[in-house]
Amino acid sequence: MAHLFDPLALRELTLRNRIVVSPMCQYSADDGRANDWHLVHWGQLLQSGAAMFTIEATAVTRDGRITHGCLGLYDDACEAALAATLARARRQAPAMPVALQLAHAGRKASSAVPWDGGKLIAHADGGWQPVAPSPIPHSPHEAPPAALSLAAIAEIRDAFVAAAARAQRAGIDALELHMAHGYLLNEFLSPLANRRTDRYGGDREGRMRLPVEIFAAVRAEWPAAKPMGARISAVDWVDGGIALDDSIELVRRLVAHGADWIDVSSGGVSPAQKIPLGPGYQVPLARDVRRATGAVTMAVGLITEPRQANAIVAGGDADLVALARGLLWDPRWPWHAAAALGHSVPAPKQYWRSPPREAATSLAGATVGMR
Ligand SMILES: Cc1cc2nc3c(=O)[nH]c(=O)nc-3n(C[C@H](O)[C@H](O)[C@H](O)COP(=O)(O)O)c2cc1C
């Protein structure tokens, strides 16, 4: 039976425990380029003792950004900024694998950043035209997105592949494809957003086609030694939307194409969703996906307590746990979990003197000598 501090091998990458930093948009990039905010934020979380840090949803095209501040990987300047910023952040922390989430915002593009209200920005106000499988707005009162032509779909698929090549050159260790939260690939999967009548719409098979094609194309580009996963919204939480058996079928396809983990989230495609929020509320979805498919799964969503996280892994509900808000609130959460559960995690040697007496052995390899 695995526990929170047991290693896990994903292809040639070995994670030293089961705690993953969930991808978190920072809305702070300059035309897609990482900057000093990312240096500080990444550096802080690379010092956290987690097993893997996931860089935020990173747009494969400029128009595929959610906001003007979203990170991108669509041109040479984005690639150079990512590579340089990551190299600098890594020099200030113990080694930790870094994953990057590749994304396209679909009809949720051209949004204001959350601290400016997060609403759709009209073209006239500095926004741009969002694209989607069908011309159905996210909220009924919003202007509709433009439906993608087959040629435009092919360009987006190529952009995912090109961004993967850029991520490889920038030194990224693992990729996660964003198929969740109402962004483009989730929109293709969901009957609530996809009303196409061509090969990319219609029945479940048609709606899965593009996400699976993109996964396969990126997997073919991404080095065989490096792992790649996908984040899914296992259910839309709306009648007539994606249900768990749809997602189980999708996961089977992704695993057949070499998915090394499935990050099981939910919701985001419709404002009509009714999400039963509570501690670990998405864990049963991860458990059901894992049981039905045998996929390595990552559970996420209101996982905040070390014992709760350990029980998820030990009970076989998921292989990995991802934390987002909990790690912003307490970027040393893995240190504190190690202390609570009697384990250790790597930490910068500059901080080796920090543990209180009862947590003296929780920082791996810590020794201090003074005269
Ligand atoms: C500030 C912030 C930014 C986020 N950005 C992303 C993102 O880029 N990609 C993604 O898949 N989820 C994103 N999420 C969702 C989280 O990764 C996570 O799934 C969600 O917050 C639930 O986990 P938690 O309860 O540990 O916060 C974000 C969440 C927060 C709080």
pLDDT tens track for 198-207: 999 999 999 9
- Arithmetic mean of pLDDT, 21-42: 98
- The chain-wide mean pLDDT, for the chain, equals 97
Residues ≥6 apart with Cβ < 8 Å to 261: 10, 176, 227, 229, 295, 296, 297, 298, 319, 320
User: What is the per-residue pLDDT across 144-181, written as a single tens digit (0 to 9) for each?
Assistant: 999 999 999 999 999 999 999 999 999 999 999 999 99
At residue 367, the pLDDT reads 94
Q: How many CA atoms lie within 13 A of 92 on its CB side?
A: 13
Residue 267 Cβ contacting ligand 1 at under 6 Å: no
pLDDT band at 225 (very low <50, low <70, confident <90, very high): very high
Amino acid at 191: P
Residues ≥6 apart with Cβ < 8 Å to 22: 54, 300, 322, 323, 324, 327
Q: Name the token pair of 270.
A: 């419709």
Pure H helices in the chain = 36-46, 76-90, 150-169, 184-189, 204-221, 244-256, 283-293, 306-314, 325-329, 333-341
Distance of alpha carbon 175 from alpha carbon 230, whole angstroms? 8
Residue 29 Cβ contacting ligand 1 at under 6 Å: no
Measure CA 240 to chain center.
25
- Arithmetic mean of pLDDT, 109-126: 97
At residue 2, the pLDDT reads 72
**C-alpha dihedral over 343, 348, 354, 357, to 10 degrees?**
30
Q: Whose C-alpha lies nearest to ligand 1, atom 4? A: 24
Residue 57 Cβ contacting ligand 1 at under 6 Å: yes
281 is catalytic: no
Q: Which of 261, 304, 276, 161 is nearest to 221 (CA)?
A: 161
Residue 329 Cβ contacting ligand 1 at under 6 Å: no
Q: Does pLDDT of 1 surpass 80?
A: no
Among residues 183, 200, 281, 351, the one annotated as catalytic is 183
User: Using an 8 Å Cβ cutoff, are 248 and 293 in contact?
Assistant: yes
Is the full-model pTM beyond 0.95? yes
- Arithmetic mean of pLDDT, 98-114: 98
* H, E, C per residue of 67-95: CCCCCECCCHHHHHHHHHHHHHHHCCCCC
Q: Name the token pair of 304.
A: 């905040």
Distance of alpha carbon 233 from alpha carbon 159, whole angstroms? 22
The H or E element containing residue 175 is: strand 174-179
Distance of alpha carbon 216 from alpha carbon 222, whole angstroms? 10
Best substitution site from 20, 21, 25, 323 to test ligand 1's pocket, by max atoms within 8 Å of Cβ?
Answer: 25
Q: Whose C-alpha lies nearest to ligand 1, atom 1? A: 24
User: What is the per-residue pLDDT across 51-97, written as a single tens digit (0 to 9) for each?
Assistant: 999 999 999 999 999 999 999 999 999 999 999 999 999 999 999 99
User: What is the per-residue pLDDT across 257-296, written as a single tens digit (0 to 9) for each?
Assistant: 999 999 999 999 999 999 999 999 999 999 999 999 999 9
Q: How many CA atoms lie within 13 A of 261 on its CB side?
A: 32
